[in-house]
Structure 1
Amino acid sequence: MKVETIRSREELEEVTPFQVDNLLWGTKKIPKTYGYLGFVPNDGFYLKMICEEADPLRTYTKDQDPVYQDSAMEAFFLFESGKERLPKPTYLNFEANANGALIAEYGTERTYRTRFGKETRRAFECTALMEEGKWSVSLRVPITALEEVYGSLSLGVGSTFSCNFYKLSETAAVEHYAAYALIPTKIPSFHMPEYFAEAEIVEGRK
């Protein structure tokens, strides 16, 4: 994946979109899901994910509610740590539903993850928008939040990291799973950093 630099969030939808179209674990079909990821130097990453789903399940309304039981879109990121290396890498998960309720955590395992504090969650500026026939989630991931986890980072053109993006619902009546980068396992789990896609920050179009 190439992540283009942009000057502001207003330019985000000018970058090349990515598709969430790898169906997983018996899923036969999902609503079209795609997104945009851009990087503003000295600021952070901006993400918008869009799903062409007219009436998404959206029960939960509070941050850290189990939004994965609703119709949800998710983004996972892994950066190189400036801190002492751990046996397993630390990665971040952001999960949101059409109400804009957000799970924002980090850790090395699927369980026992650390939640970001309220101040940092506000800095993520998570919003959701319902429109005719579709819904979207927008998110900012500031460098300051990443450095809470990883220590000092020098992010710019040429920097690399890994990531994956998902569409899902764990509720039986509408259960489905899809990813940007394929996860070739039999047991459903998005917490598989070994299968994240490689990403590189590149110069944006002038």
Structure 2
Amino acid sequence: MGNSYNVTYSTKELRGEAWAKVAPIRLAHYLWEHDEAPYRPETEVRVYFTDEAIHARFRVYEADPVAVHSEGLNPPVYRDSCVEFFLQPMPEQDTRYVNFEFNSAGAMLAGIGSDRHDRDPAPGLRPALYEARAERGLVDAQGQVCWQLECRIPFAALAEWFPGFAPGAPMTMKGNFYKCGDLTPHPHYAAWNDIPEDVPNFHLREYFGTLVFER
């Protein structure tokens, strides 16, 4: 049984301090660790929706995030300091989900399919659609250094990829949120919902949590 999160509804897009009214999701499951003193960057994400889109803001407490893979379409950003949002909009009708992955420079990779090997890169061919915005070197109220990534997922795009999808409320979707850095100086993996498997793999729908959209 995965975690559940009630996604806040807003009549308008939130800016700056207005994000504080959205409850945070903490990525508390650190996975596939082998070091005696594993690297565990604190990560949270806040999610809300409007009539037009789903909005997410990740905050990661890393002072020196890696962002090497930022060129071209669908670069392998998971090798950098990376945050990810896997979303299954129609879990009862369609096994497919979209993976949205961003590094600390705002570069993104996205795909759609039903598992790790069945990925169509089409969602990542229009990166401007998601209005990703990354900020590095931020300092929070407690003096801790962090970086942030904001993005939006238009409902019109989901309707294009998932025939029969109609935005509204209430809606129930499935998904998971991740933090990773496969080729950083300190490789690490974190998730909102636990993945009790021996081999690193975020593409496991059976461990997705529930996202409830209500007004």
TM-score by length of 2: 0.85
Query: Could you tell me how far 1:199 is from its partner in structure 2?
Result: 1.2
Seq. identity, % = 28
Over 3 Å counting, the alpha-carbon distance change for 1:172 and 1:70 in structure 2 is closer
User: Where in structure 2 are the equivalents of 1:5-154 lying within 5 Å?
Assistant: 5-10=9-14, 11-26=18-33, 28-41=38-51, 43-62=52-71, 63-80=73-90, 89-116=95-122, 120-132=126-138, 133-154=145-166
The 3-state SS of whatever aligns with 1:173 is coil
Query: Could you tell me how far 1:118 is from its partner in structure 2?
Result: 6.9
Deviates more, 1:185-194 or 1:164-173: 164-173
200, 203, 212: which is aligned to 1:188?
200
The 3-state SS of whatever aligns with 2:185 is helix
1:51 & 1:190 partners in 2: Cα distance? 19
2:105 & 2:10 partners in 1: Cα distance? 27
The 3-state SS of whatever aligns with 2:86 is strand
Query: Could you tell me how far 1:81 is from its partner in structure 2?
Result: 7.0
1:191 & 1:12 partners in 2: Cα distance? 29
1:81 & 1:144 partners in 2: Cα distance? 18
2:110 & 2:13 partners in 1: Cα distance? 20
Query: Could you tell me how far 1:117 is from its partner in structure 2?
Result: 5.5
146, 150, 167: which is aligned to 1:155?
167
CA deviation map 1:93-115 (0-9, x unaligned):
01111111100111112124112
Contact between 1:23 and 1:29, CA under 8 Å: does it hold in 2? Answer: no
Residues paired across the two proteins, number? 198
Matched, 1:177 2:186: no
Structure 2 gap ranges (5+): 139-144
1:48 & 1:104 partners in 2: Cα distance? 17
2:91 & 2:30 partners in 1: Cα distance? 31
Query: Which amino acid is 1:145 matched to?
Result: A
- Aligned CA-pair RMSD: 2.0
CA deviation map 1:49-108 (0-9, x unaligned):
0101110111122241111111101000001179xx56xx10000111111110011111
